[in-house]
Amino acid sequence: MLSRVADSLYWMSRYLERAEHTARVINIQLNLMLERGSQSEDLDWARVGRSLGMEASEEEDAWSAESLAQSLLHDASNRSSIVSSIVNARENARQVREQISSEMWEQLNRLFHAVRRSAPEVWDSRDFLQSIKEGAHLFQGVTDSTMTHGEGWQFIQAGRYLERAVAVSTLVGAHFHEFHQPAQAAAERVYLEWIGLLRSCTAFEAYCKAYTADVKPERIAEFLVLHPSFPHSIRFSAEALEMAIVKIGREAGSRRAAHVERIAGRLRATLGFGQIDEIMAGGLQAYLHELLRQCGHVHSALYQTYISYPIEAALEA
């Protein structure tokens, strides 16, 4: 497979995962804001921005409720916005139009045209956000059932799960930073925030099945970070990521694959052998920070091995 194609498939998938994640987080926030009352809206939106990994800047002061929200939805110049994620996903797909199935392209194109057509106001955007989520899920289903599960598909998997690991780590970190103060754990308002976090990872129902509706921050952290089989937990994502990378190595038959496999394996092991009490005692933020750093390493190693390697290295091989 062409390196450029692998690159585009990987980013197509990352951007789509990002669009879906952003849509989900905003949708949940809109719901929560109805409960909170309007006096804190500006602060709330600033936190949404942080939990999506937007860089805090001097503009932060100017983040009014309306403008930030609007920008997260529709601003093509805002790199974190839903619309730019969809546009970028589609642009990457367009680069590799002949590598993906027609069904995939048509579905992504449909999503793209839908996003460009409608630009609802924030408070009328529930249907819009819902359609993004559904569109992204549909694309994923179409992808899984119409594309050969070969190397290209594995790059799509790698992109999706790396993006998810990063997004969930960032979200959990921002949330614990804001709300994890043991003294007020019982307050009703904070209770809603914890549920909001779970919902933002589509984890509320799954959490309840595992732990009942008894909401405890430490359990939430364990569920979202370490759960072995819940598809939005960081550990699950890291395992899926490693599996994709191992299969890429096998498909491509590259002799230089060991390096990236070792780094992805280390990330998986960090999570697989993690203990929540130790993590909390050592500081959840530091732990999440370490995970993000390792995710960054996996990304660069993937690039060095398969995408932007020097010609000399390849001719020797």
Closest CA to 248 of 140, 90, 240, 166: 240
Q: Which two tokens stand for residue 20?
A: 């879906």
Min separation Cβ 314 and another protein, Å: 4
Question: Nearer Cβ to another protein, position 108 or 122?
Answer: 108
Closest CA to 246 of 140, 126, 158, 130: 158
Angle 224-229-233 (CA atoms, 0-180°, nearest 5)?
A: 25
Q: Which helix (H) or strand (E) holds 181?
A: none
C-alpha 88/C-alpha 93 separation (Å) is 8
Question: Nearer Cβ to another protein, position 113 or 216?
Answer: 113
Question: Nearer Cβ to another protein, position 98 or 278?
Answer: 98
Min separation Cβ 256 and another protein, Å: 8
Q: Which residues here bind another protein, judged by CB under 8 A?
A: 1-4, 6, 91, 94-95, 97-98, 102, 105-106, 109-110, 113, 151, 248, 252-254, 306-307, 311, 314-315, 317
C-alpha 87/C-alpha 15 separation (Å) is 9
Min separation Cβ 239 and another protein, Å: 22
Name residues whose C-beta falls within 8 Å of residue 215's C-beta, 6 or more positions apart in sequence: 191, 194, 195, 198
The torsion of the CA quartet 181, 187, 192, 194, rounded to 10 degrees, works out to 30
C-alpha 37/C-alpha 177 separation (Å) is 22
Closest CA to 125 of 79, 76, 74, 193: 74
Question: Nearer Cβ to another protein, position 4 or 289?
Answer: 4
C-alpha 176/C-alpha 166 separation (Å) is 16
Phi, psi torsion values for 61, nearest 5 degrees? -60, -30
Question: Nearer Cβ to another protein, position 112 or 128?
Answer: 112
Min separation Cβ 87 and another protein, Å: 13
Min separation Cβ 124 and another protein, Å: 25
Question: Nearer Cβ to another protein, position 125 or 154?
Answer: 154
Q: Which two tokens stand for residue 14?
A: 């990352």
Question: Nearer Cβ to another protein, position 153 or 287?
Answer: 153
Question: Nearer Cβ to another protein, position 197 or 252?
Answer: 252
Min separation Cβ 269 and another protein, Å: 25
Min separation Cβ 113 and another protein, Å: 8
293 close to 262: Cβ distance less than 8 angstroms: no
C-alpha 111/C-alpha 134 separation (Å) is 10
Min separation Cβ 5 and another protein, Å: 8
